[in-house]
Structure 1
């Protein structure tokens, strides 16, 4: 009996282990969701908070990582249109091509803000499908996570129940956290602000803030002196409490405007830290920065 048991154990040891999924995340926010639902996955993140995800170089390292991926999770809504198709072509990985279960677009799982029936270059950097920066709304992140847990189960059927269980546990805690954030954010309701681009539009929508001016004359075009003077005139009437831009945008235009109307400037990370991948800490930081800017202490 012992010899048979030893032979059985030896045979099992020789079987290949269940390999962890190899995941290519276009942006850190999606890597953060993968880490929650599939903590054992092998993760590669193509971008970080210091980069504009619209404009990424299709480097050989990215091609190599996409070639190995079982799943590529990206924003979609044309956010990565300037570089993801080239990566797919160069990587030649059939698992992550259009229409395959190994390609997951977050934007396809939720309703987007600011969709357009017609778009042309005269409108600037506008996405016909809608604003792609949906990860700034934690309620939409919940729906994306639910869809992602289902997709992970399709790619890894043996662990499908585990993915669903992880999502259920996380979703329950996430809903409670969102309610706490909304309660804190009630002090910001209907406050006016100035921002650059539409990067934080979903955050404003969630928190009931009003973006009354944009530092860019058209989406994707750098601020000009003529346009900034127009913003200055309109800002004096709207009485905004802060100027907001992403950490990767040129700070000089916002600083000039802030000096004219004596407002604080917030340079906020447009996504989670690639090392920590902590969604809670990121949302908490955004909300705290806005609340501080809305108080006299925040203007010191």
Structure 2
């Protein structure tokens, strides 16, 4: 009788156990929470307040990776500077590259800005293309489908729930996108300058032209010569909007704005990067509002 009771307890425990999901960045983590619901416990490894290229590999991250059943990464080389040593040290077979509990989201995305060749002479470029695809709200549906499929694979007992959550989420998100696209169609800002090429997917989606970057090359600090050239280009093209992220220095953007009469708008690159961007909807609403106002 005791054995039967113990078996029932173990079975019930496995049915109601949470799946530990680690996401490298907050936007993917927010999507995983929507799809996983009560069946998942989601941990975001990288803070939205910092440069996603250079997350500090703290011991606390190692502890989280050791407990993970699923690791969702952005991919495209974005985590290359900090994540691989952590995965190796975690010694968790579930989340090693190629394992069932490893999900590289970039494999589902049509990457843009792929370089013809890779050289340090071109700055800190990514061989697979621009990895900052999550700034485009239309990529959310792709990511949600990939996460639902992966959760169903590693937790088949709740596969029906993940599918139902996905269908409900997509229905609401498609309605949100229709309204969002209509608002962006009315956006009067059609030319911008950005610090780093964080927003290319968003800009391409809504036909906004980036006429230059404050960085002369990716990962290279702006020089006086490049800044002057950018100021002249902004004046020649009538650019009045500078997109500034939260983690690069802001002095150069303010200087350029003073010389051109442009407005500097701090734009979130991930969910939670700025105040009021703590949900998926608020994240994308904030991007639109701060670009278009």
* Alpha-carbon distance in 2 for matches of 1:272, 1:56: 16
Q: What is the match of residue 281 of structure 1?
A: 282
Q: What is the match of residue 50 of structure 2?
A: 51
SS of 2:266 mapped into structure 1 = strand
What pairs with 1:55-134 in structure 2 (closer than 5 Å)? 55-134=54-133
Give the TM-score normalised by structure 2.
0.93
Unpaired stretches in structure 2, ≥5 consecutive residues? none
Unpaired stretches in structure 1, ≥5 consecutive residues? 293-300
Q: What is the match of residue 249 of structure 2?
A: 250
* Alpha-carbon distance in 2 for matches of 1:157, 1:13: 19
Q: CA deviation at 1:189?
A: 6.3
Give the TM-score normalised by structure 1.
0.91
Q: What is the match of residue 165 of structure 1?
A: 164
1:207 pairs with 2:221 = no
Change (3 A) 1:239 1:276: closer
How many residue pairs align between the two structures? Answer: 287
Task: Please say if residues 29 and 277 of structure 1, whose CA atoms lie closer than 8 Å, have aligned partners that are also in contact.
Answer: no
Q: CA deviation at 1:258?
A: 0.2
* Alpha-carbon distance in 2 for matches of 1:75, 1:132: 7
Segment drifting more, 251-260 vs 282-291: 282-291
Match of 2:27 among 26, 29, 34: 29
* Structural RMSD (CA): 2.0
Task: Please say if residues 28 and 277 of structure 1, whose CA atoms lie closer than 8 Å, have aligned partners that are also in contact.
Answer: no
Change (3 A) 1:10 1:95: closer
Segment drifting more, 183-192 vs 73-82: 183-192
Task: Please say if residues 189 and 291 of structure 2, whose CA atoms lie closer than 8 Å, have aligned partners that are also in contact.
Answer: no
Q: What is the match of residue 136 of structure 1?
A: 135
SS of 2:138 mapped into structure 1 = helix
SS of 2:129 mapped into structure 1 = coil
SS of 2:244 mapped into structure 1 = strand
Change (3 A) 1:15 1:242: same
Segment drifting more, 187-196 vs 84-93: 187-196
Task: Please say if residues 268 and 286 of structure 2, whose CA atoms lie closer than 8 Å, have aligned partners that are also in contact.
Answer: no
Q: CA deviation at 1:11?
A: 6.8
Extract structure 1 runs of 4+ deviating beyond 4 A. 7-11, 13-16, 274-277
Q: CA deviation at 1:13?
A: 4.5
Spell out, residue by residue over 1:156-194, the C-alpha distance to the aligned partner (whole angstroms, 9 max, x if none). Answer: 001111111111111111111111111111123671111
SS of 1:188 mapped into structure 2 = coil
Spell out, residue by residue over 1:257-286, the C-alpha distance to the aligned partner (whole angstroms, 9 max, x if none). Answer: 000011110111111028985101110111
Change (3 A) 1:14 1:164: closer
Decide which structure has the larger Cα Rg and report it: 1
SS of 2:37 mapped into structure 1 = coil
